[in-house]
Structure 1
Amino acid sequence: MKLILASASPWRRELLSRLEIPFACVNADVDESPQPGESPRALARRLAALKADTVLARHPDALVIGSDQVGTLDGHTPVGKPGTLERAVAQLQAASGRSMHFHTALALRAAGQPAIDDCVDVQVRFRTLTAAEIRAYLARDPDALHCAGSARCEGLGISLLEAIHSDDPSALIGLPLIRLAGHLRTLGFDLLG
Structure 2
Amino acid sequence: MKSVVVFCGSSEGFENVFGEQAYVLGKTLAEKNRTLVYGGAKIGVMGKVAQGALENKGRVIGVIPEFLKIKEVVHENLSDLIVTQNMQERKLKMHELSDGIVMLPGGFGTLEEFFEMLTWSQLGLHQYPIGVLNINGFYDELLQMLWKMVGMGFVKETDYRSILVDDDVLGLLQKMDDYAPKPVPKWINKEQL
Question: TM-score scaled to structure 2, two decimals?
Answer: 0.28
Higher strand share: 1
Q: Max radius of gyration: which structure? A: 1
Higher helix share: 2
Question: TM-score scaled to structure 1, two decimals?
Answer: 0.28
